[in-house]
Amino acid sequence: MVYFLFILWFVFLIKWADVLVDWASSIAKKFKVSDLVIWLTIVAVWTSAPELVVNIMASIKWSAGIAIWNVLGSNISNILLILWISAIIYPIAVKKATTFKEIPFSLLAVVVLWFVANDAIIDWANFSWITRIDGLVLLSFFAIFMYYVFGISKTEKDLVEEVHVKKMSLWMSIFFICLGLVWLTLGWQWIVNGAIHIAGIFNMNETIIGLTIVAVWTSLPELATCVVAALKKKSDIAIWNIVWSNIFNIFWILWLSAVINPLPFDIGLDRDILMTIFATILLFVFVLIWRKSSTIVRIEWIIMLVIYITYVTLLVMGVI
């Protein structure tokens, strides 16, 4: 029964989260928020919504292993797995701003996370925590990023055509958003409980569950967005969505998780932070290599997929 609910809620809530975008976008339009800002914020937040709710539930239950590694595992799978699927459908084009501003900012996010999490290394403390103060540090970087978002909304007009906002009643929009959030919270509680249950049955560490099962499933909205973008041959949207989602995951979701309950951090988990850094740098290198054509061809993504499969295999086998 646990497994059935585990899968059922994943499928149902991913679809419901998609519906929430329409209602939230409709409210934003009523307050005369530009189409591009809606795309840059609401859609990006939507793709990070599963990670957000899983982390909130995990923080409340003091399941720090799932809370932290859900974010890192999601970021790793976004780059090495989700973008590979998009590239198989259509070669990925990369804009200059994504190459030199957004990918480096996503790399900065992981580096900042390493600094705020490693008290034992930096301050020689007995324990490492992502405290509420650390959460405020993450929030300050998120504020800088949002300043950048609203800045480019005044200059980048070519993305507006990608946004299709439905007009809906204000009160109906508010009602369905509240209803959706209730279902989202209840559903992801089953996911957290299911993940912990699976970890117990197979004697697996919560870290592994967070990095594999939960992380991949919470990346489904990113996958859906990237596949649709690739099918429409708008692959620049695909990589943009992944990079921005990774930034949201660290600066927004981990901030909120730490505010709810400080997150204990095992120094051994630096392995996965380094893997996230490596994946981001690899993405940046491949983008630079193919800068003249502004396209990352499929062979690069095959290399990244092999790296991802190897990493997860070694993780599950306990080799690393």
Range of the domain at 22: 2-317
What integer pLDDT is reported at residue 53 of this predicted model? Answer: 72
Alpha helices in 202-269 (DSSP H): 206-209, 215-218, 220-231, 235-248, 254-260
Q: Which long-range contacts (CB under 8 A, 24 or more apart) does 159-164 make?
A: 159/36, 159/39, 159/237, 160/34, 160/35, 160/36, 160/39, 162/39, 162/234, 162/237, 163/25, 163/35, 163/36, 163/38, 163/39
CB of 7 within 8 A of CB of 190?
no
pLDDT digits (tens, 9 = 90+) for 225-273: 777 777 777 666 778 778 888 999 999 999 988 888 888 888 878 999 9
β-strand 92-93 against 295-296: which pairing, if any? Answer: antiparallel
The pair of structure tokens assigned to 98 is 């994504």
What integer pLDDT is reported at residue 136 of this predicted model? Answer: 94
User: For the domain that residue 180 is a member of, what is the CATH number?
Assistant: 1.20.1420.30
End-to-end CA distance of the chain: 33
- Decide: pTM greater than 0.85: no
What does residue 263 show for φ and ψ, rounded to 5 degrees?
-100, 115
How far lies 39's CA from each of 22, 47, 297, in Å?
Answer: 11, 11, 26
CB of 80 within 8 A of CB of 308?
yes
β-strand 92-93 against 128-130: which pairing, if any? Answer: unpaired
Contacts (Cβ under 8 Å, ≥6 apart) of 172? 23
The pair of structure tokens assigned to 260 is 């709810």
What integer pLDDT is reported at residue 148 of this predicted model? Answer: 86
Which residue numbers in the chain have pLDDT < 50?
160-163
How many angstroms separate the CA atoms of 19 and 306, rounded? 34
The pair of structure tokens assigned to 57 is 């539930």
For the chain, the domain total comes to 1
